[in-house]
């Protein structure tokens, strides 16, 4: 049978960087030094120039001036022409939602037409999508009828089965009878629901216990549901849980040392959320002055999620259209009030309600457009979000002891926050996931922080005596069915660490066309055998090399 094999032109791009010898040390001890042209560290009010970030394993060891000593054999990643930031945090996502466009069936389509396997596959895509955009942590606020799927996706990420961000999951969420979708169907039909419905404090506490038992990091409660504009032109939302029901949930959750996020638009439901002790208010479309003051006193977090309220508006002369416009109008007022009152605001998008193909970072422009300073918006998505998640100093900052979650953009987000929609470098947990900046800017430590060479301090193969690994056994990859149908011809660029015994490890995609070719290229390169590179002292050293796998019909 004819094999579907494509002729691949394989070329090592000969600029290598020596990494520290692994003869007696594990890969977890590898030292990587990132050269940051400008560093926004997540906590300081102004950026710092020409900084070196030392990463050992999956943690940041130290941050130093650019003149600091670099250990011989360290991997140097040159981001000297970029702005470097902590990995971003989206505090309100839904990985199991695939958009709610009314023209495509709206919310109900997610539950009625997609089986759990398809939804899990889409959630896997959503996680990769978040990570490639620089969001290394998400708080996923319920699975919308997919049970405890968020916790299982989280487990798959943690075991390395799939790529994705650090997840804080809320599992099923809690509402009441008449308080969540699916709705509007014949009453004799027992329709599935997007949340766990309870009635009474006993059921509410039991639901919280069940969700916590199955791994919930947060508990999500819907304190309002339907919304409309009344005859007097006021924006109104339906309350759900009673104060007693909510207090049962909060008491149980706090007993487990976990927190409660409350979806609350306005009015009675929002007031119950505050009186019941919710730790964060989600959306908060219309917050009164008294409620703002109460949030100040109680230290309640505010996750506004502005972006989704500007899309999919119904026609202006319909009840739904009036509601849609009222939601956006009152939301702007509330956000500005929260800013003036210095409430604790975190970045959240409600992505999933919006398609995952949209840029997550669009929320930055919404926040800044309503008066938030760019640095404050960045900190809302870094150090402040980390504090809300009880991870202060561990994520959301570039600082000693923090996890090595680091991203970079080309340009200055303090001048144009929209640049954050185009993250070009992502390191998560110490591993490079995406690198569109330093393909030809990888160097090795030469004992100083200044460096030399022709590419802004980077070293090409042969510079300072660093050799290049040679591929000895390089079988060509198979062509994917999707790419074959598209008659695609082109190149996948990978970043590969070649070990001292000639194996290809730590393979990540720098650039590729999709169409399943990245996976095919990685699969092939993983089986290649190299002749290792030789360092300036004549010893075999592991190296990082970009590898091109070019496909042609």
pLDDT tens, residue by residue, 409-461? 999 999 999 999 999 999 999 999 998 886 433 333 333 333 222 222 222 23
Q: Are 194 and 180 in contact (CB under 8 A)?
A: yes
Q: Where in the chain is the domain with CATH 3.30.2420.10?
A: 1-15+468-553
pLDDT tens string 82-99:
999 999 999 999 999 998
pLDDT tens string 316-370:
999 999 999 999 999 999 999 999 999 999 999 999 999 999 999 999 999 999 9
The H or E element spanning position 119 is helix 116-132
Q: Are 261 and 141 in contact (CB under 8 A)?
A: yes
Task: Give how far Cα 548 sits from Cα of 14, 58, 126, 410, Å.
Answer: 11, 27, 27, 23
Q: Which fold has domain 17-84+396-459?
A: Urease, subunit C; domain 1 (2.30.40)
Q: Are 349 and 360 in contact (CB under 8 A)?
A: yes
The model's pTM is 0.78
pLDDT tens string 179-189:
999 999 999 99
Q: Are 278 and 300 in contact (CB under 8 A)?
A: yes
Burial (CB count within 10 angstroms: exposed 0-12, middle 13-18, buried 19+), residue 511 = middle
Q: Which fold has domain 1-15+468-553?
A: TolA/TonB C-terminal domain (3.30.2420)
**Between β-strands 174-176 and 196-198, what pairing exists: parallel, antiparallel or unpaired?**
parallel
- DSSP 8-state symbol, 87: P
Q: Where in the chain is the domain with CATH 3.20.20.140?
A: 88-395
Predicted pLDDT of residue 464? 38
CATH 3.90.226.10 fits 88-395, yes or no: no
Task: Give how far Cα 524 sits from Cα of 160, 397, 545, Å.
Answer: 19, 36, 16
pLDDT tens string 8-32:
334 443 333 333 333 333 344 689 9
Comparing 507 with 308, the larger pLDDT belongs to: 308
C-alpha torsion angle, residues 69, 71, 77, 78 (rounded to 10): 30
- DSSP 8-state symbol, 170: -
What sign has the CA pseudo-torsion 182, 185, 186, 191? negative
Q: How far is Cα 150 from Cα 128, in angstroms, rounded to an integer? A: 14
- DSSP result, 375-421: HHHHHHTTHHHHHHTT-BTTBSS-STTSB--EEEESS-TTT-GGGGG
Q: How far is Cα 203 from Cα 248, in angstroms, rounded to an integer? A: 9
What sign has the CA pseudo-torsion 367, 368, 369, 372? positive
Predicted pLDDT of residue 219? 98
CB atoms near residue 311 (< 10 Å): 15
Q: Are 39 and 47 in contact (CB under 8 A)?
A: yes
Predicted pLDDT of residue 488? 61
Task: Give how far Cα 420 sits from Cα of 83, 345, 357, Å.
Answer: 10, 19, 16
Burial (CB count within 10 angstroms: exposed 0-12, middle 13-18, buried 19+), residue 250 = buried
pLDDT at 536 over 60: yes
Burial (CB count within 10 angstroms: exposed 0-12, middle 13-18, buried 19+), residue 159 = exposed
What is the rounded average pLDDT of the residues 221-229? 97
Predicted pLDDT of residue 22? 33
Number of H helices, E strands in the chain: 13, 29
Per the prediction, the chain carries an average pLDDT of 86
Q: Which of 181, 180, 171, 136 lies closest to 151, judged by CA?
A: 171
Q: What angle do CA 22, 26, 28 make, to 5 degrees?
A: 125
pLDDT confidence bin for 535, thresholds 50/70/90: low
Q: Where in the chain is the domain with CATH 2.30.40.10?
A: 17-84+396-459
Cross-strand partners of 261 = 220, 280
């Amino acid at each position: 049978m004819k094999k579907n094999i494509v002729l691949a032109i394989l070329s090592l791009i000969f600029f290598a960087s020596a990494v520290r010898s692994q003869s007696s040390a594990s890969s977890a001890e590898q030292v990587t030094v990132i050269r940051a042209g400008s560093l926004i560290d997540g906590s300081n009010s102004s950026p710092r120039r020409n900084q070196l970030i030392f990463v050992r394993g999956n943690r940041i060891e130290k941050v130093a001036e650019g003149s600091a000593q670099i250990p011989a054999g360290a991997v140097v990643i040159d981001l000297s022409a970029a702005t470097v930031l902590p990995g971003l945090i989206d505090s309100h996502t839904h990985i199991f939602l695939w958009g709610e466009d009314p023209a495509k069936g709206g919310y109900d389509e997610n539950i009625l037409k997609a089986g759990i396997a398809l939804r899990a596959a889409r959630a896997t895509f959503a996680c990769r999508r978040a990570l490639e955009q620089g969001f290394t942590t998400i708080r996923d606020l319920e699975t919308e009828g997919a049970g405890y799927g968020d916790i299982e996706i989280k487990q798959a990420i943690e075991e390395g089965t799939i790529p994705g961000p650090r997840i804080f999951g809320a599992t099923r969420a809690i509402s009441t009878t008449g308080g969540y979708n699916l709705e509007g169907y014949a009453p004799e039909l027992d329709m599935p629901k997007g949340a766990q419905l309870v009635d009474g404090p006993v059921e509410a506490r039991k639901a919280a216990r069940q969700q916590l038992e199955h791994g919930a990091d947060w508990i999500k409660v819907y304190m309002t549901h339907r919304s409309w504009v009344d005859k007097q032109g006021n924006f109104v939302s339906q309350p759900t849980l009673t104060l007693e029901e909510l207090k049962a949930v909060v008491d149980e959750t706090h007993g487990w040392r976990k927190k409660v996020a409350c979806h609350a638009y306005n009015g009675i439901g929002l007031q119950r959320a505050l009186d019941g002790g919710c730790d964060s208010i989600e959306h908060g479309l219309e917050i009164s002055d008294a409620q703002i003051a109460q949030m100040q006193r109680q230290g309640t977090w505010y996750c506004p999620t502005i972006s989704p309220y500007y899309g999919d508006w119904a026609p202006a002369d319909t009840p739904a259209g009036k509601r849609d416009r009222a939601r956006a109008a009152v939301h702007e007022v509330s956000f500005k009030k929260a800013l003036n009152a210095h409430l604790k605001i975190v970045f959240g998008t409600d992505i999933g309600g919006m398609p995952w193909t949209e840029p997550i970072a669009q929320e930055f422009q919404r926040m800044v457009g309503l008066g938030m300073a760019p640095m404050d918006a960045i900190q809302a998505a870094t150090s402040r979000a980390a504090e809300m998640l009880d991870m202060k100093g561990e994520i959301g900052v570039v600082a000693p002891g923090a996890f090595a979650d680091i991203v970079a953009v080309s340009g200055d987000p303090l001048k144009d926050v929209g640049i954050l929609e185009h993250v070009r470098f992502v390191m998560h947990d110490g591993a490079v996931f995406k690198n569109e900046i330093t393909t030809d800017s990888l160097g090795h430590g030469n004992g100083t922080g200044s460096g030399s060479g022709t590419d802004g301090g980077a070293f090409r193969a042969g510079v300072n005596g660093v050799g290049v690994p040679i591929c000895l056994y390089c079988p060509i990859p198979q062509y994917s069915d999707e790419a074959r149908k598209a008659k695609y011809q082109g190149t996948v660029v990978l970043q590969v660490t070649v070990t001292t015994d000639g194996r290809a490890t730590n393979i990540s995609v720098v650039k590729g066309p999709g169409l399943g070719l990245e996976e095919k290229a990685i699969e092939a390169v993983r089986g290649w055998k190299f002749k290792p590179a030789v360092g300036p002292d004549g010893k075999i050293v592991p190296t990082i090399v970009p590898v091109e796998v070019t496909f042609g019909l």
